[in-house]
Amino acid sequence: MEASTPALLKFLIPKTPFILKTALAHTLSLSDTSSKWDLRTELTIRILRHILGPDSPTSTITKQQRLTTKDPGVKGPVWVSKVKCDLSPEDNDAGLRDAVFNAIVELNVPSDREGNEKEILFNTNCTPQPLEAEWHGYRANVTPSTPEPANMSETEKYASLIKETTSKVTILYFHGGAMFLLDPSTYRDKTSRLAKDTGGRVYSVRYRLAPQNPFPAALLDAFHAYLTLLYPPPDAPHTAIPASEIVFAGDSAGGNLCTALLQLLLQLNRSSYFAQNPLTFHTHKIDHPIPLPAALALVSPWLDVTRSLPSVESFAHFDYLPSPSQTHGIKIPSCPAWPSPPPRADLYCETAALCHPLVSPIAARDWTGSPPVFFSVGQEMLRDEGAVLAQRLHAQNVPVLWREFEAAPHVFAYMLEHFPGTAIHFKDFEEFCRGVVEGEEGRKGVKSSAQFISGKTVERRAVRFEELTELGDDEVSRLMGEGKKRLGEKFERERSGVSGVGREGEGSAEVRPML
């Protein structure tokens, strides 16, 4: 989203003392990050932290959504073809929904069910809905201000997009935004770069946002999107795309959806339910087992909705996101979107589902048979979540590429173009996607590797997967359980008005940064 010069000045002028203080501390090496960051990075991160932190006013969910989903228009080096996949009257849409619902129930492991037998696990009124998405591709030989061609149909735009592709890579992309913010239209600059780097195309999904559409609406949309690529509707501009050419990719909350979708596919293939209840999608019979994608490419994935692992607090000094301890007492102003009817503890899901494997994917223990997974993370608040999953995948013989960047904040490559590690992030991302799709051995040729990239010199250092984290499965479950309890108890206190909280006009959920 762009800002005019007057608007930018209006925003920055009141922060001049803060900016000067930050610059002076960095120059005199008085800040705790001056040895890791240059001045530009220091200013960017600290200003963002100030904006998102507890000292800034909290906007309503409705206002945040309006600001972060506004279409900035199409111009510059990007092809955009907007598509909508309607539901087929010939298909049993209830069957698709029931298959997902059954997987949710089957994956609700005993530790999750303890004491929750009578609690609501998920929104059983959720149904498949027509899916909107955007095809994004790189448009060469234009300036950043060049508008998209006039009087072209969406089909013609897609055809032009395809003409400029140079590889078979198709990226199924899920944007970040903590499950309640952002949109494919606000990600066009990012996804068009991925298309340029890989030579392929990107299918960017407009999944339903919480809190209006709680779990499992976004997951159902993600499943719908994958089926659309495999079994295209009659009016789709694309032909059927082999699973071996598709890479699931996403940042932050989008990384959550990537891994939740993979775990859903694994569970559907493990379960006898799907085999006994065959499904169709736009008259196509869905294969069983459902073919898995070529790979997953995850950027700072958000894998624990309870935000309970140690790095959430211990790496806060390298991040711009506020930690739970900083936002604990902040209330979300009431608006049409929130509190929800009936009220619940979390924007995305019911309290009982916080530790469910399809909500917080690090709760899933079995990833056997998964395709290769690429991780790009910083020394950020969500670092431990990625490390737990990477270590678990590697232990189950899943090929993993782990890239950890020293002193880098959340989704750094999308925000800090000048950061030393950004070029390495995009290079490794591109090589991974091309390799799993067009390499001689495809995904079978991926060899696991874990690397730590130093902040200023970008020197690569090999690390052992066993050293990524000391958090074992039982400890992770314990910490997540405590986080779930904390959020549930906070909700109950505020709903009952204890300690003066829960007043009229205030939402009861824990304030969530733009993950």
Per-position DSSP letters for 238-298, written without gaps between them: SPP--GGGEEEEEETHHHHHHHHHHHHHHHHHH-HHHHHS--EETTEEPPSSPPPPSEEEE
Q: 185 an active-site residue?
A: no
Other CB atoms within a 10 A radius of the CB of residue 27 amount to 12
Provide the Cα torsion 231, 233, 235, 240; round to 10°.
0
Cα gap 183→70, rounded to integer Å: 8
Structure-token pair, residue 427: 């290079």
Q: What is the enclosing helix (H) or strand (E) of 336?
A: none
Record the pTM: 0.94
pLDDT at residue 110, as a whole number = 63
**Structure-token match 């591709």, residue found:** 137
Q: What is the enclosing helix (H) or strand (E) of 171?
A: strand 170-174
CA-wise closest residue to 305 among 475, 179, 161: 179
CA dist list (Å): 24 to 44, 203, 362: 14, 45, 41
Which residues lie below 8 Å from residue 41, measured CB to CB, with a gap of 6+? Answer: 416, 418, 419
pLDDT at residue 15, as a whole number = 75
b/e map 91-120, b = 16+ CB within 10 Å:
bebebbbebbbbbbeebbeeebeeebeeee
pLDDT at residue 328, as a whole number = 80
Statement: 69-321+352-438+446-473 belongs to CATH 3.90.950.20:
no
pLDDT at residue 501, as a whole number = 39
Cα gap 304→387, rounded to integer Å: 12
3-state SS assignment for residue 412: helix
Locate the DSSP E strands across 345-438. 373-378, 400-405
**Structure-token match 């400890």, residue found:** 475
pLDDT at residue 51, as a whole number = 86
Q: What is the enclosing helix (H) or strand (E) of 80?
A: strand 78-85
Structure-token pair, residue 312: 């959430």
Cα gap 501→503, rounded to integer Å: 5
Cα gap 250→222, rounded to integer Å: 12
pLDDT in tens, the chain (515 residues): 445 566 656 666 777 777 787 777 777 776 888 889 999 999 999 999 988 888 888 999 999 999 999 999 999 999 999 999 988 877 667 888 999 999 999 999 765 555 555 577 998 899 999 999 999 999 999 999 999 999 999 999 999 999 999 999 999 999 999 999 999 999 999 999 999 999 999 999 999 999 999 999 999 999 999 999 999 999 999 999 999 999 999 999 999 999 999 999 999 999 999 889 988 898 899 999 999 999 999 999 999 999 999 999 999 999 999 999 988 878 899 999 999 999 999 999 999 999 999 999 999 999 999 999 999 999 999 999 999 999 999 999 999 999 999 999 999 999 999 999 999 999 999 999 999 999 999 899 999 999 999 998 999 999 999 999 999 999 999 999 999 999 999 899 888 775 433 444 456 677 766 56
pLDDT at residue 509, as a whole number = 72
Catalytic pick among 192, 252, 300, 370: 252
How large is the angle between the packed helices 188-198 and 422-438, nearest 10 degrees? 60
**Structure-token match 């390495």, residue found:** 424
Q: Phi and psi dihedrals of 59, rounded to 5?
A: -85, 160
Cα gap 456→313, rounded to integer Å: 24
